[in-house]
Structures are given as C-alpha cells and as structure tokens.
C-alpha cells in the first residue's frame, strides 16, 4: 500500500481535472494518516482498497466515487456528498457521516457499526441502507440448514426484525411452516441449524432467538437469520 501526502494527492487531482476523457482517477491501494482534506473534491476518484485513518474529510465531494473495500478509521466525513458513490464493503465503522448526502449511493455490504448517521440525505435511489425486510406485518422468510434442508419461516407481526446493508435479515422469533430439501421434492419434520447444532427447527413449532441485538448494523449478531426468498437462502454457504 502506497503512503501518500496531501501535496501528492492534490497534484494528482489537479492533473486529473485538467484532462478530458478519463472516467476515474485511479488512487487504489493508498494510505493516509491524520490529514486535513476538508472541502476537497474527490468526485470520480477510485479509492478502492485504500486505507484512511484520522482523516478530516468534512464537506468533501465523493460523487460517483468508487470506495469498494475502502477503510475509513475514525474519519470525519460529515457534511460530505456521496451521490451515486459505490460503497461496496466500505468500512465506515466509528466514522462521522452526519449530514451527508447519499442520494443514489450503494451501501451493499458496507460496515456502519457505531458510525454517526444523524440527518443523512437518503432517497429512493439509495441502495441497501434501509431495511431490506418489511418493518411491519407478518412476512415469510427462508433459511438453509444442515444436510441441504430448507426451512420456511413465518415471522409474525409482533416479531422484531431488521437487516443491515445486505439482503440477510434477522428476527427474534418465527414459526416453522415448511421444511424441504433444496429441490422441494422431500419434506421433513425438523432441520438443524448450521451455526448451532443444538438449535433445531421443528415443523409447526415456534423458534426463539437466544437473544436479539437491537442494533441493526451488527448484521452477524444475535437473532434468527433469514432471507426473503428461497433463492437467496439457497445461495447461503
């Protein structure tokens, strides 16, 4: 990973802005520590797989930027614009994102634990920020278990449920309404969880999570994990 100074960064940005025909400025695999970059324009910059720590990015522009697998550790990104930015698997834990614009941004698999998310601009074009599963009413979910068994769950109206930044969901309780093989040809009365062999899904019975983490951004935390469609569950493991 290449360490970069603020002077080097500004020089590369100036050269890029003065050229025509280049879609993105390639600044992948760079590293910066404790820098003040407030108000800079990083639109159409590819920072994928780069590493920033204690960097002040307040009021910066990341419009149409590529931030795949980019790590922002303890960075201030408040008041910035991320319109149509690609945030796939970006690590934004503990960062300050308050007041930022995420119109059209794609958060798929981004990490947002303990990030400051006050007053964000999120629109219908923003992807994988809102809950993937319906927040009200009863819903059906699907779960792949040991020995290629597929469980269909009825998540009741009063069940707690959430998702983070992928299509994986969690709930605190559910009723087992069907157990089949992955080809839907055989039916079974019970199925064993992949994660906990002592957690058994039994046809017609309610199942309850040992506990439920209310923080939706902790996607691998406590709860019964499920997917909204049979096909999504089939792709698990």
Q: What is the CATH number of the domain that holds 64?
A: 2.160.20.80
- Is the pLDDT at 96 greater than 80? The verdict is yes
Same domain (yes/no): 124, 179: no
Q: Give residue 199's pLDDT.
A: 92
Q: Give residue 192's pLDDT.
A: 95
The reply to whether 102 falls in a domain is: yes
Same domain (yes/no): 225, 177: yes
Exposure letters 107-136 (e unless 16+ CB within 10 A, then b) = bbbbbbeebbbeebebeeebbbbeebbeee
Mean pLDDT of the chain: 95
Same domain (yes/no): 76, 98: yes
* Residue 10 DSSP symbol: H
Same domain (yes/no): 148, 197: yes
Phi and psi torsions of 9, nearest 5° = -60, -45
Domain stop point among 129, 154, 173? 129
Q: Provide mean pLDDT across the span 60-74.
A: 98
Domain stop point among 110, 129, 148? 129
Residue keyed to tokens 């969901």 = 169
Taken as a whole, the chain contains a residue count of 237
- Is the pLDDT at 237 greater than 80? The verdict is no
Q: Provide mean pLDDT across the span 3-20.
A: 91
Same domain (yes/no): 150, 118: no
Q: Give residue 195's pLDDT.
A: 83
Strand 45-46 and strand 71-73: the pairing is unpaired
| Share of residues in the chain with pLDDT > 90 (%) | 91
Report pLDDT digits (tens) over 176-221.
999 999 999 999 999 999 888 889 999 999 999 999 999 999 988 8
The residue range of the domain holding 153 is 139-234
The pLDDT confidence band at residue 19, using thresholds 50, 70 and 90, is: confident
**Closest C-alpha to 50, from 27, 34, 33, 80:** 27
Exposure letters 195-206 (e unless 16+ CB within 10 A, then b) = eeeebebebeee
């Amino acid at each position: 990973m290449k360490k970069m100074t603020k002077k080097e960064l500004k020089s590369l940005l100036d050269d890029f802005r003065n050229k025509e025909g280049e879609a993105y400025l390639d600044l992948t695999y760079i590293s910066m520590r404790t820098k003040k970059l407030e108000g800079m324009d990083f639109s159409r910059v590819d920072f994928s797989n780069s590493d920033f720590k204690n960097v002040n990015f307040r009021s910066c522009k990341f419009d149409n930027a590529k931030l795949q697998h980019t790590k922002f550790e303890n960075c201030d990104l408040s008041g910035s614009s991320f319109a149509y930015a690609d945030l796939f698997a970006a690590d934004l834990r503990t960062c300050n994102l308050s007041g930022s614009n995420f119109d059209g941004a794609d958060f798929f698999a981004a990490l947002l634990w303990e990030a400051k998310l006050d007053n964000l601009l999120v629109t219908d074009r923003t992807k994988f920020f809102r809950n993937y599963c319906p927040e009200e009413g009863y819903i059906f979910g699907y779960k792949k278990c040991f020995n290629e068994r597929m469980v269909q769950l009825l998540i009741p109206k009063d069940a707690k449920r959430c998702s983070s930044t992928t299509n994986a969901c969690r709930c605190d309780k559910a009723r087992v309404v069907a157990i089949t093989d992955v080809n839907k040809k055989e039916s079974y009365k019970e199925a064993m969880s992949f994660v906990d062999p002592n957690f058994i899904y039994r046809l017609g019975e309610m199942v309850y999570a040992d506990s439920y983490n209310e923080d939706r951004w902790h996607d691998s935390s406590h709860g019964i994990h499920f997917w909204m469609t049979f096909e999504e569950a089939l792709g698990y493991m």
